[in-house]
Amino acid sequence: MSAYAVIDLSAAMRKFFVAEISIYYLTFEPLSSNYAETVVLVTGGTGFLGSTLIKRLLASGVAVRATKRETSLIPEALLGLPALQWVDADINDFFALGDAFVGMTQDCHCAGMISYHAADRKQLMAANVAGTANVVNLALQHRTRLLHVSSIAAIGQAKRDGEATEDDLWEYGPDQTGYAISKYEAEMDVWRGIAEGLDAVIVNPALIIGPTARSTGNDASGSIFALLRNGLNFYPDGSVGLIDVEDTAKAMILLMDHPTITGQRFLLSNVNMTYRELLARCSVQLDRPAPKRRATPWMLGIAWRAAGLLSLFTGKRPLLTRATAKSAQRKLRFSNRKVVAATGMTFRPIDETLREICTKL
């Protein structure tokens, strides 16, 4: 018998292996037949934005396959739903993630890590950069339309104190945080995929707020409201763009549903607001005096060092870090003109969002 005869599989053997491979890739339970044939993959489904997006997709009659880490807890509102399928797949596990992509034509990539602690830089690069590279490569392989959630941290500074737009390019610099670097490099991987033929859209949300945001740790958008709840007598000089988490999910769906929109990025922001005004509006909702004293740069410098020292004794991560102290002094403004023109997007009044958040503090 020749060597070629030994390695040549018979027709029956080939059928056996094809069947085995098919069984391996079709281990997911079927979704409810009451929903549309469209099934959207959502990575990071247990997160603040991911879970909100899933609820909106299900409400619109779209079935969802959502990924989560094995240790992540599924929100109670998303348990036991017939049109929602949960898959344990860390974005750094290429093969587990690859299984989740099987049969998917659309993916909303919400998974990632937010942190402004210098010690987390390695984890940020792994989750945000390497993880996104896996998503991009699998989307190319499976011909999946991708909506990537980036950040305003990957947007460059506005020229002449105007509003930053999608055309303002990010630049490396000593003041860039590990988080900003990781989100920029992750976005570059998506642009690499687009150059290779990937059908993709990128969104760069401003500070996403909502009543379901976590209020512990500086990696949570709810932390600023937790500070106010605990008593805040000072306001920083900076300003920020704000958007309700529901509006963020709404804009993502609108963009994903426009097949002609591809190879572009969109800033998602409702209003630009100084921290002084933001804290004052929240103070009205909480029926307490608004912070009246300006936090100068040197005061913030002392504050973040003191917070770091205190954390050594409490064992809890500080809400204020060097990076967040610097960020609070930056005057940031963002334009939403592009997404409004492309989708007709309308936004929920920001005071309604703030009222809802403060009610639950």
pLDDT of residue 319: 75
pLDDT of residue 226: 66
pLDDT of residue 288: 83
Give me the tens of pLDDT residue by residue for the chain, a chain 361 residues long. Answer: 433 333 333 333 333 333 332 333 333 344 433 334 679 999 999 999 999 999 999 999 999 999 999 999 999 999 999 999 999 999 999 999 999 999 999 999 999 999 988 889 999 999 999 999 999 999 999 999 999 999 999 999 887 778 999 999 999 998 899 999 999 999 999 999 999 999 999 999 999 999 887 654 444 556 667 666 666 778 889 999 999 999 999 999 999 999 999 999 999 999 999 999 998 998 888 888 888 888 888 888 887 788 888 888 888 888 778 888 888 888 999 999 999 999 999 999 999 999 998 888 7
**Closest by alpha carbon to 345, among 179, 146, 203, 176?**
203
CA distances from 309 to 3, 141, 229, 298, 329 (A): 70, 48, 22, 17, 22
pLDDT of residue 16: 33
Phi and psi of 169, rounded to 5°? -90, 135
pLDDT of residue 100: 96
pLDDT of residue 296: 84
177: left (phi over 0), alpha (psi -120 to 50) or beta: beta
Rounded distance, CA 295 to CA 292, Å? 10
Strands 293-294 and 234-235: parallel
pLDDT of residue 59: 95
Domains delineated in the chain: 22-30+38-359 (3.40.50.720)
Contact of 222 with 215, CB cutoff 8 Å: yes
CA distances from 204 to 148, 252, 339, 358 (A): 9, 10, 11, 25
pLDDT of residue 3: 37
**Which tokens in the block code for residue 87?**
């898959």
**Strand arrangement, sheet containing 63-68:** 84-88, 63-68, 39-43, 106-109, 145-149, 200-205, 264-268
Amino acid identity for residue 184 in this structure:
Y
Amino acid identity for residue 9 in this structure:
L
Rounded distance, CA 86 to CA 74, Å? 9
Q: Which residues contact 63 (CB under 8 A, 6 or more apart)?
A: 31, 32, 35, 36, 38, 39, 40, 83, 84, 85
pTM recorded for the entire structure: 0.85
